[in-house]
Amino acid sequence: MKPEQLYQELKDLAEKLSITVSEQNLKKTGLNVKSGLCKVKGKQIFIMDKHKSIHKKNKILVSLLKELPHENIYIVPVIRELISEPERDDGKRL
Contact criterion met (CB below 8 Å) for 60 and 80: no
Residue 13, amino acid: L
Q: Rounded mean pLDDT of the chain?
A: 87
Domain ranges of the chain: 3-81
Q: pTM here?
A: 0.83
DSSP code for 54: H
Task: Give the C-alpha separation, 89 to 45, whole Å.
Answer: 26
Q: Is the pLDDT of residue 21 over 90?
A: yes
pLDDT-derived band of residue 90, with 50, 70 and 90 as boundaries?
Answer: low
Q: Using one digit for the tens of pLDDT, what is the confidence trace for 44-73? A: 999 999 999 999 999 999 999 999 888 888
Assign 39 to helix, strand or coil.
Answer: strand
Contact criterion met (CB below 8 Å) for 38 and 65: no
Residue 36, amino acid: G
pLDDT-derived band of residue 10, with 50, 70 and 90 as boundaries?
Answer: very high
